[in-house]
Structure 1
Amino acid sequence: MEQWIPLLGEYGFPAAVTFYLLHRVEKKLDRINESILRQQHTLPEPVPRLEKQR
């Protein structure tokens, strides 16, 4: 147990900050995903691609 205390002191804060930031990023990615899914339902059918002229 005595070996873990210095490790937690050294790596505990960076690990906590990392998990906090990952949690915030996850929320934002979820909102972006929901927005993209909403756009799929509101946009009209895709326009057919035009053939490239050579």
Structure 2
Amino acid sequence: METILQAVGNVGFPIAVAAYLLVRIEGKLEALTASIARLAEAVAGERRQEE
């Protein structure tokens, strides 16, 4: 918590909020990327079955 308060004091509130949001959303982006890859594999499998 102390580190966060120091960051706000040093770089300003908007930059601290942006950094916090980037860290939080990273895991969600990785999960979304994995889901898109699985979807692409499923679509490719369906195309192979149709042929």
> Fold-level match, TM-score > 0.5?
yes
Higher RCO structure, 1 or 2 (CA under 8 Å, sep 6+)? 2
User: What is the root-mean-square deviation in Å for CA atoms of aligned residues?
Assistant: 1.7
> TM-score normalized by structure 2?
0.64
Residue 25 (structure 1) aligned with residue 35 (structure 2): yes
Greater Cα radius of gyration, structure 1 or 2: 1
What is the percentage of aligned positions where both structures have the same residue?
12
> TM-score normalized by structure 1?
0.61
Structure with greater helix share of residues: 2
Deviation >6 Å, runs of 4+: none
Task: Give unpaired runs (5+ residues) of structure 2.
Answer: 1-10
